[in-house]
């Protein structure tokens, strides 16, 4: 079933969703742009933290995104017979991906 806030957009995701995957599609997606804006506020603190602090920051980012009805989506494997071509990766996997993306230092 489509996300409630997305009925006028792509039926499986919208601008409150962060899409994981390679390529320009996910990079340019409005939800990913909003998510990068959110994470930019934490980058300095993240890079100055120890491992436990970095984990805590990633957890805060995921919780903040979820509180805005945000989801973390990845394309489903068609061979698994999922109803949607996209599925939520869950908080633990989202935290891992947030930590990986925060490690990338960009000016």
DSSP 4-58: GGGTTS-TT--TTEEEESSSHHHHH-HHHHHHHHHHHTTHHHHHTS-HHHHHHHH
Cα gap 81→67, rounded to integer Å? 29
Cα gap 49→55, rounded to integer Å? 9
Q: Which residues share a beta bridge with 20?
A: 74
Segment 18-77, tens digit of pLDDT: 998 766 677 788 899 999 999 999 999 999 999 999 999 999 999 999 999 999 998 877
């Amino acid at each position: 079933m489509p996300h409630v806030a997305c009925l006028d957009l792509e039926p499986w995701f919208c601008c409150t969703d962060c899409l994981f995957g390679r390529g320009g599609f996910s990079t340019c997606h409005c939800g990913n742009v909003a998510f990068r804006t959110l994470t930019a506020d934490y980058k300095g603190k993240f890079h100055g933290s120890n491992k436990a602090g970095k984990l805590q920051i990633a957890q805060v980012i995921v919780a903040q995104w979820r509180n805005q009805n945000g989801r973390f989506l990845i394309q489903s494997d068609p061979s698994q017979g999922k109803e949607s071509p996209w599925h939520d990766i869950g908080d633990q996997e989202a935290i891992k991906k947030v930590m990986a993306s925060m490690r990338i230092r960009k000016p």
